[in-house]
């Protein structure tokens, strides 16, 4: 084994080496590389300081400026690189090993004018080797900045190389990020965009494979990083292009985890709520318009759904409720709910059938599905066991809005059920809210059935209208 490595070192350093010499070397080197890839026992046998030092010395001397490199040279060099890759899986080592491979990659890029096949194979081998060299936990990784510079240069090519390169590339970025490189990764917009696009193509309805699990874990770190907001602001300069996809992917990542800590929740809501306000206010401008831009409304709607779904999913955390209360989110939510209620007609099965019959003669009504349901769900989270938020909904005249949605609307599946739960939360142990609803019912502004659905009934006592829990509700309590 040592003889073959020494022979490789001599041949690679000889600028006058012939094709016959390279071919002879490949015949000897090939079986060693193949066996080291297949046998753990053989890799452990090769895992000596002498062999690894010799391999690193060869890689260190590779691709010096001013020399041209043949395809044969690259094939032999790739064999040496793969050998180090395989041995490194036994015991990952950093320091000079990692730096040497990284610097060699940078030199190879500047020195080689190869055919695409050889270039791609060499690129994949570099990525795989660096990924193996960084898998050890709690290790200090040198040249993190250089790593991101080099990987940024190649990230646009990785998807074309297939899983052979995609997984180790993701693993390399993940390993670096775990070693205090996350902030630097956030400063590489191309890498963040690459990771977002990778996950956007994943079918999350299926069980995630190892690659996609690593990718998801890395993206969870990214979306909860304080720098993610700045990256999104840059990407959002044109909301009409890729931004809906970016937000939808971010939405999948945010809603994929149930144990966020308070710091992560605050970091995520910093960008989620900022963009929610942007799209909420734009919706309130577009929906009342008679000459509405349907394409823009559709894009705004997609972005609004993504941000609201994130807020709703995080709403179960106390830290999220405090954040939303601090930034007066209830005011924005009720205002948006009111505009939708006033400008988007409720859809029923009967009405939809009439529209289908008269489709060619009927002006199509505005559609803005699912948004009201999500708003009502967030209101429920915020008002739960919070007299302050219960009162704020009443002060904003949001009680009437929620009550008016205690009925079936095909635009918003399950909105009736969500509205009923929300009304229960808003009335629970809140006499002012109960009295407000009783007064509404007395003015025939509320459907009796809606109150029965939430477990309340109206009674008149001493000439005053009051709301009390129904007999069935009291017995169930």
Question: Of residues 87 and 453, which shows the higher confidence score?
Answer: 87
- Mean pLDDT for 58-81 is 90
Q: Identify the pLDDT of residue 169.
A: 95
**CB 222, CB 182: distance < 8 Å:** yes
Say what the pLDDT of residue 135 is. Answer: 81
Token pair in block for residue 364: 């199509």
What Å distances lie between residue 474 and 13, 454, 455, 470, CA to CA?
Answer: 89, 12, 8, 6
Model confidence at 407, pLDDT cuts 50, 70, 90, reads confident
- Given a cut of 60, whether residue 429 has pLDDT beyond it is yes
pLDDT, tens digit, 9 for 90 and up, residues 101-110? 988 988 887 7
Residue 91 has pLDDT above 90, yes or no: no
Using CA atoms, how far apart are residues 82 and 271, in angstroms rounded to an integer?
Answer: 43
SS3 state of residue 467: strand
* pLDDT surpasses 60 at 307: yes
**How many Å apart are CA 316 and CA 99, to the nearest integer?**
45
User: What whole-number distance in Å separates Cα of residue 382 and Cα of residue 380?
Assistant: 5
Percent of the chain with pLDDT over 70: 85
pLDDT at 64 over 90: no
Residue-averaged pLDDT of the chain = 86
Mean pLDDT of 309-316: 97
> What average pLDDT does the segment 69-97 reach?
86
88 alpha-carbon distance from chain centroid: 31
Note the pLDDT of residue 361: 42
Q: What is the pLDDT of residues 377-405, one digit of tens each?
A: 999 999 999 999 999 999 999 999 999 89
169 is written with which tokens?
């590339």
Of the given ranges (65-74, 136-145, 184-193, 222-231), which has the lowest mean pLDDT? 136-145
Residue 43 has pLDDT above 60, yes or no: yes
Tell me: pLDDT of 257 over 70: yes
Least confidently predicted of 157-161, 216-220, 421-425: 157-161
Q: CB-hemisphere CA count at 13 Å for 294?
A: 4
- Residue 445 pLDDT level (bands cut at 50, 70, 90): low
User: pLDDT, tens digit, for every residue of 3-12?
Assistant: 999 999 999 9
> What is residue 354's predicted lDDT score, i.e. its pLDDT?
47
Whether 70 shows a pLDDT value over 60: the answer reads yes
| CA dist list (Å): 51 to 1, 21, 61, 345 | 9, 22, 16, 75
Under 8 Å between Cβ of 139 and 94: yes
Phi, psi torsion values for 245, nearest 5 degrees: -65, -40
SS3 464: strand
pLDDT of residue 366: 82
- Kindly state the helix (H) or strand (E) to which residue 456 belongs, with its residue range: strand 456-461
- Torsion on CA atoms 309, 313, 314, 315, rounded to nearest 10: 90
Which two three-digit tokens encode residue 228?
Answer: 């993610």
Q: Which residues contact 362 (CB under 8 A, 6 or more apart)?
A: 355
Secondary structure of residue 259 in the 3-state scheme: coil
- Mean pLDDT score, 182-192: 88
Helix (H, G, I), strand (E, B) or coil at 458: strand
pLDDT-derived band at 241, boundaries 50, 70, 90: low
Q: pLDDT tens digits, residue range 446-457?
A: 556 666 766 776
Give the model's confidence band at 85: pLDDT under 50 very low, under 70 low, under 90 confident, else very high. very high
Q: Say whether 436 sits in a helix, a strand or coil.
A: helix
């Amino acid at each position: 084994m040592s003889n073959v490595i020494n022979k490789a070192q001599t041949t690679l350093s000889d600028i006058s080496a012939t094709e016959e010499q390279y071919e002879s070397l490949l015949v000897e080197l090939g079986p060693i590389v193949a066996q080291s890839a297949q046998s753990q026992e053989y890799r452990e046998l090769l895992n000596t300081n002498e062999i690894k030092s010799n391999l690193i010395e060869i890689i260190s001397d590779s691709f010096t400026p001013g020399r041209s490199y043949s395809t044969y040279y690259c094939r032999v060099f790739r064999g040496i690189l793969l050998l180090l890759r395989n041995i490194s899986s036994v015991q990952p080592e950093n320091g000079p090993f990692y730096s040497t491979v990284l610097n060699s990659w940078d030199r190879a890029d500047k020195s080689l004018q190869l055919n695409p096949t050889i270039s791609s194979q060499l690129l994949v081998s570099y990525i795989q080797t660096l990924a193996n060299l960084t898998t050890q936990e709690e290790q200090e990784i040198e040249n993190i900045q250089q790593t991101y510079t080099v990987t940024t240069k190649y990230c646009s090519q990785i998807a074309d190389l297939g899983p052979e390169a995609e997984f180790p590339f993701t693993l390399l970025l993940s390993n670096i990020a775990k070693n205090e490189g996350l902030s630097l990764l956030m400063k590489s917009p191309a890498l963040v965009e690459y990771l977002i696009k990778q996950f956007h193509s994943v079918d999350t309805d299926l069980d995630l494979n190892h690659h996609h699990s690593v990718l998801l874990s890395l993206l969870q770190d990214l979306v909860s990083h304080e720098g993610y907001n700045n990256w999104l602001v840059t990407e959002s300069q044109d909301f009409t292009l890729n931004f809906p996809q970016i937000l939808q992917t971010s939405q999948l990542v945010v809603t994929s985890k149930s144990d966020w800590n308070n710091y992560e929740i605050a970091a995520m809501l910093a960008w989620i709520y900022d963009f929610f306000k942007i799209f909420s206010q734009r919706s309130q401008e577009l929906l009342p318009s008679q000459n509405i831009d349907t394409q823009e409304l559709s894009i705004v709607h997609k972005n609004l759904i993504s941000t609201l779904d994130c807020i709703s999913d995080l709403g179960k955390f106390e830290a999220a409720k405090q954040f939303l209360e601090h930034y007066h989110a209830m005011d924005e939510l009720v205002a948006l709910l009111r505009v939708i209620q006033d400008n988007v007609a409720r859809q029923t099965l009967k009405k939809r059938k009439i529209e289908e019959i008269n489709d060619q003669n009927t002006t199509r009504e505005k559609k803005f599905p699912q948004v009201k349901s999500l708003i009502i769900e967030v209101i429920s989270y915020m008002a739960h066991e919070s007299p302050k938020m219960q009162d704020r909904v009443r002060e904003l005249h949001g009680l009437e809005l929620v009550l008016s949605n205690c009925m079936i609307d095909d635009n918003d599946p399950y909105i009736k059920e969500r509205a009923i739960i929300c009304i229960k939360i808003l009335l629970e142990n809140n006499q002012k809210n109960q009295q407000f609803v009783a007064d509404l019912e007395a003015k025939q502004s509320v459907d009796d059935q809606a109150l029965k659905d939430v477990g309340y009934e109206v009674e008149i006592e001493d000439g005053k209208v009051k709301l009390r829990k129904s007999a069935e509700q009291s017995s169930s309590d």
